Structure 1
Amino acid sequence: MTIIVDPDGPKLANVASNPIPDGVRLGYFKTSDQVRLRYAFWPRTGPVHRGTVCLVQGRTEFIEKYFETIADLRSRGFAVATFDWRGQGGSDRLIGNRGLGYVDQFSDYWCDLKSFHAEILLPDCPPPYYLVGHSMGGLVSLFAGVHDRLMFERIFVSAPMVALDKQPLSMGGMAKVAEVLSFLGLGQLPAGRQADKPMSEGTFPNNPLTSDKARYMRSVDVVRAEPGLGVGKPTIRWVAAAMAAMAEAGRDNFPGRIRVPLLMLAAARDEVVSSSAIEQLGLRLRTGRHAVIAGARHEMFVENDFIRGQVFAAFDAFITEQSG
C-alpha cells in the first residue's frame, strides 16, 4: 500500500456550518503515475453492514463539501471512502496557478479512481463497493463502468457531465479547437466567461447550483476558512480533455459498453450540464436507466430537503435495498 506518512498530515477544514463527521481516517495516497491525492474514510454508523460507497466529486469540489451526504450514507450502513481529484481540493495541483482547473487527459481521472480502488478500497474498506459520482465525477464513473465491470457492484450518478448545452460547436468540435489552442502553448490559460465570479453570498441569487442558501453558503465558508481548497475557471487544456471525453460519451456505441448496473439522475433545471443528453443516454443503456428530478438544479446532493429526499429515495431503491 502506497500510504504517505506525513508528520504534518492532510487536514480537513472544520467550520461551524459544516463540522467534520466523527470517526474519520485521513491520509494521502499516490496514484500509479505518482500524483499525491488526499483521501478520507468513515466507517458506517448504521446497524447493518452494507459495504462501502466510493464517493467521487465534480470539478472544483472537495471532500468537505460532502460531509452531510457522507453522514446520510453512513446512517444507512455504508462506510464512505472519498478523495480529491488531481488538481483540486487538498490533492496535488498540476500547474503553477493553483486557482485554475487543469488536467492533461481526462483518462488521468480514471487513473485516480483506479489507483484509489487498488490502494485504499481493496486493502482497507469493507466490501462490496458502490460508486457514487457527481457531474465530472459522474462522467468518470460512467467510464469506470466501461473499463472494469468488477470494480463496483453498482454505479449511481448525479447530473453526469455527458454534454454541455449552448456550445457553439459539438463536443467533438469544441475539443478540437481547445486541442489546437493547447498545441499552440495556450493550454494553461483560463477558459470561461469574464463575468464568472467565485461563490459568495452575493452570487447565491439565480445561481445554477442549488436553491438552498444554507447549503450553498457552507461551501463558501469552507473556502473562506481554507482558500487553498478553491478552484476557479478551467484551463483550455482541461476543456480539451473534458470535451473529448464528452464526445466519446455521445457516441452511438457508448451506452452498450457500460457493463455495470447504473442509475443516472438528471436535474430538470440543470444549467451546467445537459439534462437532455443524460436522458438520451439513459434511454439507450443496456444495464441501467435514468430518472429526472423535477425542480432540481445541478448539485442535487446540496439541494433543498425535498429534492435531496427524492435523490436518496432513488439511491435507496437502487443500492440500499439491494445491499446488505
Structure 2
Amino acid sequence: MDSILYATPDNPVPENHFAGFLEGSGGVKIRYAVFRSSEREAKGTVVLLQGRSECIEKYYETINDLTARGLWVATFDWRGQAGSGRLLTASHAGHVSRFADYEADLSLFLEKIVLPDARLPFFIVAHSTGALVALSQAPFLENRIERMVLAAPFVALGGQSMSQRRIAIIARLASMTGLGNRTFRRSEPSFDFASNVVSSDARRFARNAAIYAAHPELSIGWPSARWLNETLRAMARVTHQDHLTRIRIPTLLLCPTADVLVPRKAIGDLARIFRAARLIEIDGARHELFQEADRYRAQAMAAIDAFIPGSDAEDTGLGA
C-alpha cells in the first residue's frame, strides 16, 4: 500500500507516480498525486477534477487509460472529502464554507504542483462538481489550460423530491441562520447497486464500493445546506451568458442522457449559449461516465482521445 494512496485487490495504485499534501486555501490540507506516462515523449498533462464525494482511488482505471495514451495525469481530492482535510468535526456531511475555496485550491494546485512538476501542454478533464469548478475558473485559465472536457457538468440539480428553486431557498435560509452544517437527510448514502442512479456497471460499482469499505475514512455523507447554497449560487453564475462569453478555452461537454442528477436539458441549454463549447450526448449513460459500462464509457474516452491533445480534433469536427 502506498503511504498516501490506497489500493484494493482489484484496484492497484498506478505505477510511476508521486503523491503528497498541498496547503490549500486557509491552510486546509489537500491530498494530490501526479501520474507519469511511460511514453518517452509526453503529450501533455491532464488535470483530472473529481466530483463531490469522490477520491483519487476511484479514478485509477481512467488514470491508466490516459497515461497509456502518453498523457500525464495530475489530480487531487477536494477539500472536505477523501484524503484531504475535513471541514467539520462533528458531522460526516460533505461541506464547503465558500465555493471560492474550491477555486483557490485549484489555482494553488496548478501553481504549486502542475506548473513546476508536470508536462506541457495542460488540459482539464472534469466530472460533475469538478466541472462546475472548472467552468467557474475558466475565464482565468486561458493562459494555462489548452482544452477542457467537462463530463456531466453540475449545472443543475435533478432527481430530487423538491424543485431546485425550493432547495436553493431552504439552503440559503439554513446557511443564514447558523444551520449550514446540517444535511437534509438522516440516513447515510447507500452503496447498494440495485438502487443506485449513477452507474449501470455492476463491476465498477462494486470496485468503488470496496474502496470505501476498505478505507471508510475516504467517504463522506450527504451535502450540507451550506454546500448546496454555495454550489447552487455558482451554478446560477456560471450558466449566465456574461460568464460564458468570457471563456475562450475550447471545451467539450459530455452529456449522459440517462443522468437523473444533472438534467439533460440543462447541459443542452448550456451548450447552446456557450460559444467555446461542443456537445456530445452519450445515449443511455448515467451520471458517472468514467464509472459506467464499457459501451458508454468507451464513447466518453473516444471523445477525449479525439479532443485531447487536439491533433485530431479538427478532423473530427470537435475543434473549437
Q: TM-score, normalization: structure 1?
A: 0.91
- SS of 2:178's partner is helix
Q: How does 1:205-224 map onto structure 2 within 5 Å?
A: 205-224=194-213
Distance in 1 between the 2:177 and 2:25 partners? 29
Q: Give the aligned residue type for 1:240.
A: N
Measure, in 1, the Cα distance between the counterparts of 2:35 and 2:295: 26
Tell me, in whole angstroms, the C-alpha distance in 2 between the residues paired with 1:32 and 1:249.
21
Q: For the Cα contact (< 8 Å) 1:10–1:27, is it kept in 2? A: no
Identity of aligned residues (%): 39
Q: How does 1:261-272 map to 2 (within 5 A)?
A: 261-272=250-261
CA spacing shift, 1:15–1:105, aligned 2, 3 Å:
same
Amino acid at match of 2:272: L
Following the alignment from structure 1 to structure 2, what is the Cα–Cα distance between the partners of residues 224 and 240? Answer: 30
- Residue 175 of structure 1: which of 168, 171, 181 is its match? 168
- Equivalent residue pairs, number: 310
The Cα of 1:169 is off from its aligned counterpart by 4.4
Provide closer, same or farther for how the CA distance between residues 166 and 23 of structure 1 changes in structure 2, counting only shifts above 3 A: closer
Q: How does 1:25-64 map to 2 (within 5 A)?
A: 25-64=18-57
Q: Deviations over 1:50-93 (max 9, x none)?
A: 01101010000000000000000001100111000000010000
**Greater mean deviation of Cα atoms: 155-164 or 37-46:** 37-46
**1:33 shift after superposition:** 2.5
Letter in 2 for 1:124: D
Q: Are residue 197 (structure 1) and residue 189 (structure 2) matched?
A: yes
CA distance in 1, matches of 2:119, 2:169: 42
Does the residue aligned with 1:70 lie in a helix, a strand or coil? Answer: helix
Secondary structure class of the residue paired with 1:257:
coil
Maintained 8 Å contact 1:265/1:290: yes
Q: Taking structure 1 as reference, are residues 273 and 133 closer, same or farther at Cα in structure 2, changes over 3 Å only?
A: same
Give distance in 1, aligned partners of 2:105 and 2:91.
Answer: 19
| Counterparts of 1:122 and 1:52, CA distance in 2 | 10
Three-state SS of the structure 1 residue aligned to 2:101 is helix
- Which residue of structure 2 aligns with residue 127 of structure 1? 120
Stretches (4+) displaced over 2 A: 45-48, 165-171, 173-177, 194-198, 249-255, 320-323
Corresponding residue for residue 5 of structure 1 = none
Residues 170-206 of structure 1 show CA distances to partners (whole Å, capped at 9, x for unaligned) of: 55x64343122112111111124x566331xxx1014
Are the aligned partners of 2:147 and 2:249 in contact in 1 as well (CA < 8 Å)?
yes
Match of 2:141 in 1: 148
Alpha-carbon distance between aligned partners in 1 of 2:231 and 2:252, rounded to the nearest angstrom: 22
RMSD: 1.8
Q: Note if contact 2:80-2:87 (Cα within 8 Å) is conserved in structure 1.
A: yes
Does 87-96 or 257-266 show the bigger shift?
A: 257-266
| Structure 2: distance between partners of 1:305 and 1:280 | 27
Q: Could you tell me which of 59, 68, 87 is aligned with 2:61?
A: 68
Structure 2: 5+ residue runs without aligned partners?
313-320
Structure 1 counterpart of 2:73, one-letter code: V
| 1:250-307 superposed Cα distances (whole Å, 9 cap, x missing partner) | 3232321222110010111001112211111011111111111011000000111111
The answer to whether the 8 Å contact 1:265/1:292 transfers is: yes
Superposed CA deviations along residues 22-52 of structure 1, whole A, max 9, x for unmatched, are 1121100112432110001111123542011
Q: In structure 2, what residue type is equivalent to 1:308?
A: R
CA contact (8 A) 1:131 1:152 kept: yes
CA 1:46–1:309: 2 relative to 1, 3 Å: farther
CA distance in 1, matches of 2:158, 2:217: 30
Pairing of 1:1-324 with structure 2 (within 5 A): 11-97=4-90, 99-165=92-158, 168-171=162-165, 174-192=167-185, 194=186, 197-199=189-191, 203-322=192-311
* Aligned 8 A contact 2:136 2:234 in 1: no
Moved more, 107-116 or 57-66: 107-116
What SS is found at the alignment partner of 1:102?
A: coil
Unaligned runs of 5+ in 1: 1-8
Amino acid at match of 2:303: A
